[in-house]
Amino acid sequence: MRALLQRVSEAEVSVDGAVVGRCGAGLLVLVCAMQGDTGAEADRLAARVAKLRIFRDTEGRMNRSVVDIGGAALVISQFTLAADTSRGNRPGFSAAAAPEDGRRLYEHFAAALAALGVPVETGRFGADMKVRLVNDGPVTIWIES
């Protein structure tokens, strides 16, 4: 699985003009299941996200996790993180998991992150979503399971 994390002061996602998920201080997590991924990868990725020390401590250093700060996460499925741009100008997405596997692993990841103590809200899998965020820092980090 792949994830793009953005440290945010706030974020929200809407579908058809209605907000379906939001968070305050914490993380916007764009997540993509890849072919061959399993629930074990989703669990590992959730653990890494929950423990990643990218929030400031009292001395201003990135030394605290989203759990440490009592932050939340807005988790959004984004199969385009599987883009292969190595051949030409049109990205290919064949490395992404099939939609039914992608949905299952996306939901598994969100549940695993919540089980680690991070309040989680989500977007809507497969929907045309509009995402608004205030990137704090800015801090944006790419990770894979």
Q: pLDDT tens for residues 17-43?
A: 999 999 999 999 999 999 999 999 999
DSSP letter at 88 equals S
CA neighbours closer than 13 Å in the CB half-sphere of residue 59: 3
Instruction: Give the model confidence (pLDDT) of 75-104 as tens digits.
Output: 999 999 999 999 989 999 999 999 999 999
Q: Is 78 left (phi over 0), alpha (psi -120 to 50) or beta?
A: beta
The pTM of this model reads: 0.95
Q: Which domains does the chain have, with CATH numbers?
A: 2-144 (3.50.80.10)
Contacts of 35 (CB under 8 A, 6+ apart): 94, 95, 96, 97, 98
79 annotated active-site: yes
Question: Which is catalytic among the residues 80, 85, 93, 122?
Answer: 80
Q: Exactly one of 6, 55, 78, 109 is catalytic; name it.
A: 78
pLDDT tens digits, 98-137: 999 999 999 999 999 999 999 999 999 999 999 999 999 9
> What's the CA gap between 15 and 127, in Å, rounded?
7
